[in-house]
A = this chain, B = another copy of it.
Amino acid sequence: MYTVKSTLPDETLKVVGEALQGALVDLVDLSLVAKQTHWNVVGPRFRSIHLQLDEVVDSARSYSDIVAERASALGISPDGRVGTVAGSTGIATTAEGWQRDTDAVATLVAALSAVVARMRERMTATGEVDSVTEDIFIQVTGDLEKHHWMFQAENVG
């Protein structure tokens, strides 16, 4: 209906649009998963992980905004509604209730691992058609891989 005119040609918009929409969904869910774990973690490392999780929330919220506004800037309407996120997220459903600190860390390692794999695919796909979008995925991937390392380092037994 209302059209925002794109600076990209139509043929590349589909690839870029799908990558951005997929990333938006993953990042919104990552922010919810990290908050859920932030509230439910228990165990000797409670405080340390409680704080660390909020840094993941900050990353995920910040990048979801960047990704969605990149879509808008290209004339693609982003969809971050709760139903859309619930229906297409790449992260497995988190367990219900209190979570032991060891489990909380494992939950995050798994979620980050899943999202990083999909982001690397998006990085490759968009790299061929729009360097600006690719650059956003490079930033996202680098930051999530850093969180991924930190939670792994926590779980070395």
Residues of A whose CB lies within 8 Å of any CB of B are 1-5, 7, 28-29, 32-33, 35-36, 39-52, 61, 64-65, 68-75, 77-83, 85-86, 89, 93-94, 96-98, 100, 113, 116-117, 120, 123, 127, 131-132, 134-136, 138-139, 141-142, 145-146, 148-150, 152-156
Contact = CB atoms under 8 A, between A and B. Distances in A.
Chain A interface helix/strand/loop/mixed: helix
B79 A96 contact: yes
14 contacts: A1-B97, A28-B82, A36-B78, A36-B80, A39-B77, A44-B155, A46-B153, A48-B48, A50-B150, A70-B146, A73-B149, A74-B149, A131-B138, A135-B142
A72 B139 CA distance: 17
